[in-house]
Amino acid sequence: MNSNTSPTKASVIENLGAVRAMIRRHKRNDIIFAIVGLLALMLGLITLLTLFIDLVMDGYARFNPQFFTDYPSRRAASAGLLSAWVGSALVMLVTFLTAVPMGVAAGLYLEEYAPKNWFSDLIEINVSNLAGVPSIVYGLLALGLFVYILDFGQSILTAGLTLGLLILPIVIVSTREAIRAIPVAIREAAYAVGATKWQVVSDHVVKYSQGGILTGVIIGMARALGETAPIITIGALTFIAFLPPSPVTTTPPFINFEWLSSGFTVLPIQMFNWLSRPDHAFHINAAATGAIIILVTLLMNGTAIWLRYKIRKNIKW
Amino acid sequence: MTMNSVTQISNHAMDIKISPRLAKNVRRNVKERIIELILMLAALSAVATTFAIVGILLYESLGFFKTVSVVEFFTATEWTPLFEDAHYGIMPLISGTLTTSAVALALAVPVGTIAAIYLSEFASHKAREIVKPILELLVGVPTVVFGYFALLFVTPLLQKIFPELPGFNMLSAGLVMGVMIIPYIASVAEDAMRAVPMSMREGSYAMGATRFQTAIRVVTPAAVSGIVAAYILAISRAVGETMVVAVAAGQQPNLTFNPMESAATITAYIVQVAMGDLPHGSIGYQSIFAAGLVLMVMTLGFNIIGHIVRKKYREQY
Amino acid sequence: MINATTPIKAESRDLNFYYSNGTQALKGINMPLYENKITALIGPSGCGKSTFLRCFNRMHDLYPGNKYDGQIIMHPDNTNILDKGVDPIEVRMRISMVFQKPNPFPKSIYENVAYGLRVRGESNKRLLDDKVEEALKGAALWNEVKDRLQDLAFNLSGGQQQRLCIARALATDPEIMLFDEPTSALDPIATANIEELMSELRNKLTILVVTHNMQQAARISDYTAYMYLGDLIEYGDTDMIFTRPTRKETEDYITGKFG
């Protein structure tokens, strides 16, 4: 068969000029799209930068040490973050104690013990479901169950438990991923010397996955620090001119739990409260608080990402 | 429980002249089983949380629907549960939620998709290594800070273009929400595109296609299930967002789809009520659970659809 | 038999190739491709035959860091394909490729075959219809798919998908077709079909095929080149190579002493 009988032979060398012009046109689209794509990527980054600069510029007046040691006040210039950051710290403590033991244990169970059946599937479905539940629904859970039915009240305990449940899926997923990164060969070696399952898990699995778990915990805690909606729903009071009782005392038994049932406020709530006031002077405080919250969360998330990067580089099985 | 039964067993063991080593085995087995049980209970916490959430929402909503008929709930056009002359139509809250989400997605879908295509098909390996962590950092910024940005930066900016824009409006809130959601879409869509095998791209390039042609005509269609899953999950995220809309979109329920007006979303309503003083068990109190139930059903529905779509694309390669 | 009047379609001149990590994969290859003939590249794994093949359509350009050193000259226009000033896209429009594992696009059968034309800006429906039919006939696939052109290409069998890929490569009337181990992923019947197809295609265009299957090379090719560790050890008439090879290395490989 002679190809020259085809009437529409798309020969390149016969139409070289036209072909080259067309290729040039198409390649121009390449360049245009590359620019547009880069802009699209930058949009988020530019917004974040604008946001941060705006906060710093607006809140500039309140960047002094007093801001951290003052209680909120009716006068914007002397309203400070003391009760807010102390409250945040205490709530983070309860969140940590709720989410980490339960989350790591759950992750261990799912990776090391659970047989592949409907039961473990059910648990997995629930975990991924919970990750997608809006945070305010956790607030409703807390309000209905913790505050009223269990009568924990509008307290640090309630807030910590709620946020702990909120970040539980994050801890579980990162625990599982960290465990999965451990090669089977290490486990087999441990079993081969006669270790029991729990010995293998606690001596080897947990130890090697610590880095990955820590990464997930940091990300979870950063998330919890910035969460506002569930805490509002519980009813964190916003004009707190006192501090919760200290967990550590100077008299025996040296630890008390009164602080758990105390009223409280946290950083994002304080910002929200100041933001909601029509008086512009309070907006300055809100801006300063916002800048601080962003700094802390960015630092925590940045640490987690850096940690994950180092783990990936260092591990030489 | 442990020690007694184990002691009994080992006493018995000595009667029947069982070797001490076997007795130790029994003790160890019991310990292993108990540990496994504890871990399993931790894993079940995920299931328990889901049950608790569904339970509390249903329980309080049931109370709500004793007073308000389901028909009125879905057909009335006003939502004023706290007024003397109370109306309980959820449509204004739903319209607020849908409008803000629509604005958000109108921004996030094109920008996120283009960013994903750029990241997957145009960016160099090093560029990708830098950009992906930055996207993750964006995700970690607390939403209340974005609320500040929407209210005190974006709205005044938009008012220069649209002078009749009210101080609270769905456009600002929606746009800022959109920027927040871009990293979600970009990240998931990019993962979907990277999963497309290189051999398919080579097939396209071998035909004389440019990078842009390959990206749009071959890679994107090949990854379409994953990309759509990204969109659906983004919808779920937008619908469940609270702080940005609570701060910037307004607190008055308003049955409208015009983004230039102010309106309350489901989430903003819950926040508003929770901040006030509502007696436990009152109709106002129960109304937030009814609203939360609607929200939960919406986000759950989207999550399930997204999950199904994502599973479908996993099977292709 | 090579004689002085057999036209050369393309030839490599002193071609060296370096991967981005520095390894030299091709060492000074000089080889002709005779027009309307099938040339086969054989040799053990890692000898560079696929690397050499992929130089012809500048596939290596897709992965940054690779370096060509030398020339591949196309006739009759005497263009050096590897020249930095020559656009790889233009090269790929003249030289098409069929891959080891069939790689149809997630599109219909029709759209797969029409892809090359659409990418060239062709949108005339009647022209596309004609070219698609011609290409599918040329790939001996038309009768099997003519009633379901809108079906997804993924639904075809492995052998059919590979013929579809051949049709796709044919539709743009290339001057040279490159085949990279085209039947290694297929069953014997599909393999036989493709081999028959390649034999017929040589009437239209020039074919360069890489194969790890010596018998296949002996069956279908006019000329064979034996490569080893980046060097072209021997090149000649297929009959001569397989019955009276000049170099001992060639003979060792062909008789199965290694590889």
| Confidence band of C142 (pLDDT split at 50, 70, 90) | very high
Q: Which pLDDT value is given to residue B62?
A: 92
Give which of A144, A173, A156 is closest to A95, Cα–Cα: A156
pLDDT over 90 percentage in chain B: 55
Name residue, tokens 């009768």.
Answer: C143
Specify the range with the lowest mean pLDDT, choosing from A172-181, A306-315, C109-118: A306-315
**Whether A194 and A294 share a structural domain:** yes
User: What's the pLDDT at A214?
Assistant: 92
Spatial distance between the Cα atoms of A71 and B306, rounded to a whole number of angstroms: 46
What is the C-alpha separation between C219 and A9, in angstroms, rounded? Answer: 30
pLDDT value of residue A73: 79
Taking only the tens place, the pLDDT of each residue in A1-23 is 333 333 345 567 777 888 889 99
The DSSP call for residue B234 is H
Chain A touched by B131 (CB under 8 Å)? yes
Query: Is the separation of the CB atoms in B193 and B166 below 8 Å?
Result: no
d(CA A144, CA B116): 41
**DSSP summary character for residue A13:** G
Task: Please tell me whether residues A52 and A173 are part of one structural domain.
Answer: no
Answer whether residue B12 shows pLDDT above 60. no
Q: Report the predicted TM-score, pTM, of the whole model to 2 decimal places.
A: 0.86
C75: left (phi over 0), alpha (psi -120 to 50) or beta: beta
In a domain, A7, yes or no: no
Average pLDDT over residues B143-170: 93
Residue A154 lies in a domain: yes
Whole-number Cα distances in Å, C1 to C37, C204, C235, C239, C251: 12, 20, 12, 9, 20
Same-domain pairing of A148 and A291: yes
**Does residue C76 have a cis peptide bond before it, meaning omega lies within 30 degrees of 0?**
yes
Cα gap A312→B224, rounded to integer Å: 30
Q: How many residues does chain B have?
A: 317
The C-alpha angle B179, B249, A80, rounded to 5 degrees, equals 85
* Under 8 Å between Cβ of C224 and C239: no
The second-level CATH assignment, the architecture, of C8-102+176-254 is 3-Layer(aba) Sandwich (3.40)
The two structure tokens encoding residue C97? 């490729």
Which residue from C90, C121, C200 is facing A12, i.e. has the nearest CB? C90
Kindly determine whether residue A301 and residue B233, on different chains, have CB atoms separated by under 8 Å. no
Same structural domain for residues A228 and A296?
yes
**Chain segment A118-129, per-residue pLDDT in tens:** 888 888 888 988
- Listing DSSP states for B115-184 in one string gives HHHIIIIIS-HHHHHHHHHHHHHHHTS-HHHHHHHIIIIIHHHHHHH-TT--SS-HHHHHHHHHHHHHHH
| pLDDT given for residue C69 in this prediction | 92
| pLDDT at A1 (0 to 100) | 35
- Range B91-314: architecture per CATH: Orthogonal Bundle (1.10)
C-proximal residues of B, 171-210, CB under 8 Å: 197, 199-210
| Share of residues in chain C with pLDDT > 90 (%) | 72
Which pLDDT score, from 0 to 100, does residue B69 have?
86
Integer Cα distance of C171 and B12 in angstroms: 86
CA distances from A51 to B4, B200, C231 (A): 63, 41, 61
Residue A5 lies in a domain: no
**Which residues in chain A have their CB less than 8 angstroms from residue C121's CB?**
22, 26
| Paired strand residues for C74 | C10, C79
Look at A2-6, B53-57, C17-21, C25-29 and tell me which has the smallest mean pLDDT: A2-6
Q: Where are the domains of chain C?
A: 8-102+176-254
Q: Averaged over B5-13, what is the pLDDT? A: 48
C121: left (phi over 0), alpha (psi -120 to 50) or beta: left
Query: d(Cα A211, Cα A57) in Å, to the nearest integer?
Result: 37
- Describe chain A by its helix, strand, coil percentages, rounded to 5: 75, 0, 25
A180 within some domain: yes
Six token digits for residue C140: 């001996």
In this prediction the ipTM stands at 0.92
Give the pLDDT score at A72: 76
| Cross-chain residue pair C204–A27, CB shorter than 8 Å | no
For the beta carbon of residue A200, count every other beta carbon within 10 angstroms.
19
Q: CA C241 to CA A209: how far, in whole Å?
A: 59
Q: Where are the alpha helices (DSSP H) in chain C?
A: 49-56, 88-94, 109-119, 125-138, 142-145, 158-170, 188-201, 214-220, 238-243, 248-254
Q: What is the pLDDT of residues C132-141, one digit of tens each?
A: 999 999 998 9
Nearest to B32 among A148, A198, A294 (CB): A198
Task: Please check whether residue C254 is in contact with residue C241, taking contact to mean a CB–CB distance below 8 angstroms.
Answer: yes
Domain that holds residue A80: 65-314
Mention every residue, 6+ apart, whose C-beta is less than 8 A from residue B119.
A37, A41, B127, B128, B131, B132, B186, B190
On whether both A72 and A55 belong to a single domain, the answer is no
Model confidence band, residue A315 (pLDDT cutoffs 50, 70, 90): low
Q: Which residues of B148-173 are buried (b: 16+ CB within 10 A; e: fewer)?
A: bbbbbbbbeebeeeeeebeebbbbbb
| pLDDT in the model for residue A308 | 86
Q: Are residues A260 and A310 in the same domain?
A: yes
- The per-residue pLDDT for C73 is 93
**Tens of pLDDT, residues C210-258:** 998 889 999 999 999 999 999 999 999 999 999 888 888 888 888 887 7
- Residue range B155-175: mean pLDDT, rounded: 93
pLDDT value of residue A237: 64
Structure confidence by residue, pLDDT tens digits, C49-72:
999 999 999 999 999 889 999 999
* Candidates A3, A12, A23; nearest CB to C94: A12
Structure tokens at A75: 């006068």
| Test the C interface: residue of A8, A9, A15 with most C CBs within 10 Å | A8
Among the partner residues B53, B144, B179, nearest to A272 by beta-carbon distance: B144
Task: Please check whether residues A42 and A120 belong to one and the same domain.
Answer: no
Give the pLDDT confidence of C149-184 residue by residue, as tens digits: 999 999 999 899 999 999 999 999 999 999 999 998
How is C137-180 classified by DSSP, letter by letter?
HHTT-HHHHTT-TTSBGGGS-HHHHHHHHHHHHHTT--SEEEEE
Interface test with C, best of B207, B213, B218, B313 (most C CBs within 10 A): B207
Mean pLDDT confidence for B291-299 = 94
Express as a percent the part of chain C with pLDDT over 70: 98
Chain A residue nearest residue C124, CA to CA: A8
Q: What does the radius of gyration of chain A's CA atoms come to, in whole angstroms?
A: 28
Least confident span in A75-79, B270-274, B300-304: A75-79
Cβ atoms within 10 Å, residue A241: 11
From the list A34, A105, A172, the residue facing B122 with the nearest CB is A34
Give the integer Cα–Cα distance in Å for C175 and C92: 10
Among B249, B231, B294, CA closest to B96: B249
Regarding whether A243 and A281 lie in a shared domain, the answer is yes
For residue A253, say if its preceding peptide bond is cis, omega within 30 degrees of 0.
yes
Same domain assignment for residues A29 and A113: no
Residue identified by tokens 């689209």 is A29
A161/A309 same-domain check: yes
Distance, CA of A269 to CA of A258 (rounded, Å): 22
Contact B212 A228 (CB under 8 A): no
The full set of domain ranges for chain B reads 2-51, 91-314
Output the pLDDT for position A238.
58
Cα→Cα distances A10→A14, C97, C115, Å: 8, 17, 14
Please classify residue A254 by burial: count the beta carbons closer than 10 Å to its beta carbon, then call 0-12 exposed, 13-18 middle and 19+ buried: exposed
C77 Cβ under 8 Å from any chain A Cβ: yes
Residue A76: CATH number of its domain: 1.10.3720.10
Q: What is the largest CA-CA distance in chain A?
A: 104
How many CB atoms sit inside 10 A of residue A117's CB? 8
Look at residue A307 and tell me if it is in a domain: yes
Residue B257 to residues B97, B100, B251, B261, Cα–Cα distance (Å): 10, 9, 15, 8
Q: How confident is the model at residue B85 (pLDDT cuts 50, 70, 90)?
A: confident
pLDDT band at C31 (very low <50, low <70, confident <90, very high): very high
Distance from CA of C174 to the nearest CA of A (A): 8
pLDDT digits (tens, 9 = 90+) for A64-73: 888 888 877 7
Quick check: is A2 in a domain? no
Question: Beta C8-18 vs C67-74: how paired, if at all?
Answer: antiparallel
Per-residue pLDDT of B89-102, as tens digits, reads 889 999 999 999 99
Q: How many domains does chain A have?
A: 2
Cα of C123 to nearest chain B Cα, Å: 15
**Mean pLDDT value across chain B:** 87
**Does position B18 have pLDDT exceeding 70, yes or no?**
no
CA distances to A259, B237, C163 from A147, rounded to whole Å, are 16, 26, 69
Helices (H) and strands (E) in chain C, counts: 10, 10
